[in-house]
Amino acid sequence: MCHKARQLSEIQLWLSLGPCVGTEKSFEASFRTRQEHKKAQSIGAGSQSFANKTDKAEHLTVTTCSGVESTDFRDTQREVNVWGLVEPWLLETEGPRTITKGCSELMCESNIHSASVLSTVAPALGWGFQTPLRVTDMILPSRLSPPSPVLKAMGKDKKEEAVFLRKKITLLRAFSLLIGSMVGSGIFISPKGVLQNSGSVGFSLVVWFSCGLLSMFGALCYAELGTRITKSGGHYIYILETLGPLPSFLFLWAEFFAIRPANSAVVSLAFGRYMLEPFFAPCAAPVPAVKLISLLGYYMVLTLNSWSVTWSARLQTALSIVKLLALALIIVPGMMLLAQGHTENFQDAFDRQSLVLDKLPLAFYAGMFAYSGWFQTSFVREELVKPERNIPLAVIVSVIMVIVGYMLTNVSYYTVLGTQDVLASPASFVQRAFKSLISVVPVLVALSCFGTLNGGIFTFSRTLFVASREGQWPPLFSMIHIRRHTPLPAVMLMFPLVTVMVCIGDIYHLLNFFSFSRWLFIGLATLGLIVHRHRHPELHSPFKVPLFVPVSFTIICLFTVAMSFYSDPVSISIGCTMVLSGFPVYYLIIHRQMSDRCRNLFYYLTHKLQLLLEVVQQEIKTY
C-alpha cells in the first residue's frame, strides 16, 4: 500500500509486480512538473543509458522480479523512491495505467497529489510495445491486481474499460442543453422584474430584445473561445487560460459560494411554487411546502447526474420539448387575441414618466437571467462530438430561437394581461387564457424549471472537475466513478449550500445577489478572448467573430456591473464582498504551501473519501 514520506525530499511509491519471466532487469521513468514545464523523456534500456538523458535527482527505478512462480503478490513488492524536492500539487495527473505482457502485470499506487510519471516500457523488458506508466492521484488506480483488498472493496474488475468522460453530447443534445438551460424559470418570473424596473410595456420589450441581442454577442464570443481552447470549464477555464490563475480562482470562489447556489435556489423555488400551484389554487401554496418540494426536485436531479451522463442528457432533450410546448401554450392564445385587434394594453407603451434610469441595470439583470444558459456548451467542451462544428451551430440556432420565443411570449403576456396583472404574477395568464388547462400549464412550467436545474448541475460539476484538474480545487473533485463514469464528487459538492439558500433566501434578493458576480466574470472571459487573439495571432480558429462583438459585449457587461452599484448597493456590496473574500484564500492556500501536518491530514481524508465514493482519476486525456 501507499506510504507518505515524512519529508518531501523522499516520496515513496509502492509497486506490485506480478509473476514475470526472465532475468532481472530494470527500467527508469522520468517525471515533470508544471512549474518547470519539463518535457517527459523516454525510457532508456537500463540505468546506464538513461542516466545520460536525465538528472538522477528526478527519476525513479523499478526492478522487475526474476523467476517468480508464486502468485503471492506480497512476496514481490518492491519499494521505489523518488529523490528530489517535489511539491505534490505542482505535478500533473493523467491517471493510472496497467502494463500487461502475458501474465506479467505492473500496477502502482502513489500518495503524490497530481503526479504524472510519464514513461515507456524499456525494450530490455522484452515487451514489444510502448505503454505509458501513470501514477494515480495519491490514492488508488482503477486497476489493481486481484489480490488487492482495495479492488475488492471498490468492486472494480480489471477487465473494465478505462475511466474517463466520454464524448456523448451530440449536436441534438448540445441544442437541448442550451434550450433547456435558457428556457426555464426566467421567462416565467423575470417579466415582473423587467417590467417593474423598466417602467412600461414598450421599454420592457426593448429590454427583452436588448438582452437577447447581448446574449447573442456573448454566445458568439464563447463559441470562438470554445474552438480556441479545447478544455471544458466555461468561464473558469477561459479566464484561467487568458487572464491568469488569480482572477480564475476568484471566479471559482464566487461561483461556488454565491453564483451557482443562488441560481439553483432561484430555479428550485420556482419549481416548487409551480408544482404546488394546481393543488392550492386560487390560494398561494404554503411556503414550507414550496421549499420542501423545491429541495426534493433538486435532490432528484442531483441523483440522476450522479448516476448517468447519458440519462441526464436524455432527460434534458425530453424536457426541452416540454419547455417549447409550455411557451407555445402561452404564445398561441396571445397571438390569436392580438390578431383580433386586442391592442388596448399597448397604448402609451413608452411612458417616459415611469422610466427610472438607475433601475434599468436591474431590469437588464432580470432579462439576462432569463437568457442565461447560452454559455452551457463551453462547460462540457471535452464531451462534445465534433465541437469545432457543433458549438457554433448549436449556439447560433438556439439563441435565435429563444429570442423569438421570448419576444412572442412577452407580447402574449401583455396582450392577455394588463401591466398590473403581470406585476402581480405571470401565472395569472393561465387563468385568463386556459381555464380548462389551469392545472396543466403550471406543471409544464415546473418541468421547465426542472430541466434548467438539470442543465445547471450537469455543467457546474464540470467546472469543479476542471478546476480540480488544474490544481485550484481539492483533487478529489477531478475524480470519476469507476463504473458510472460520472464526476460524482463534483456533482455532490454544492447541495449543502443550495439547501441553505432555498430554506432562507428570497427569490428576487437572490437574483440580484448573484447577477453582479456572474456578469462581471462573463465580461472578463470575453475580455480574455481579446487578450488571447493578441497573444496568439498565429492560432487558427475555425470560428471567428468580428472584433467589435467581444469589445462591445465586454464594455456593456462591465458598465452594467458598475451601474448596479448605484441601483442596488446593498446586494451588490454583498456580492462584491464574496468575490474579494477569495483573495486571502488564494494566497494562503493556493499560492502558498500547506504545512506538512495539514497536507498529511488532507491526503488522509481524500484517501478515505475516494474509497467511500469509489472514484479514481481520469485515465485518458480528453483535451
pLDDT of residue 277: 84
49's enclosing H/E stretch is: helix 47-51
* Beta bridge pairs of residue 31: 117
Q: Which residues on neighbouring strands pair with residue 59, listed in sequence order?
A: 30
Give the model confidence (pLDDT) of 255-268 as tens digits: 888 788 888 888 88
Residue by residue, DSSP assigns 162-203 as: P-S----B-HHHHHHHHHHHHSSSHHHHHHHHHHHHH-SHHH
Run means of pLDDT, 10 residues per run, the chain, 623 residues: 30 30 32 33 31 32 32 29 28 32 30 30 31 32 35 48 80 88 74 80 89 93 92 92 92 86 85 87 84 92 89 87 84 86 77 72 81 88 90 93 92 80 60 64 83 87 90 88 87 87 70 74 93 88 90 90 79 81 87 77 86 84 77
* Rounded (10°) angle between helices 309-339 and 287-307: 130
Backbone phi, psi, residue 16, to 5°: -95, 120
User: Quick one: pLDDT at residue 610?
Assistant: 86
Pairwise CA distance, residues 622 & 613, whole Å: 23
Cβ 248 vs Cβ 534: under 8 Å:
no
User: Check: CATH 1.20.1740.10 for 171-462?
Assistant: yes
End-to-end CA gap in the chain: 31
How many Cα atoms within 13 Å fall on the side-chain side of residue 545? 25
> Which has the closest alpha carbon to 522: 171, 316, 254?
254
pTM of the model as a whole: 0.71
Domain ranges of the chain: 10-154, 171-462
At 492-515, the pLDDT tens digits run: 888 888 898 888 766 556 566 667
Q: Give pLDDT, residue 429.
A: 61
Sign of the C-alpha dihedral computed for residues 160, 165, 170 and 172 taken in this order: positive
Question: Residue 46, class by beta-carbon neighbours within 10 Å (0-12 exposed, 13-18 middle, 19+ buried)?
Answer: middle
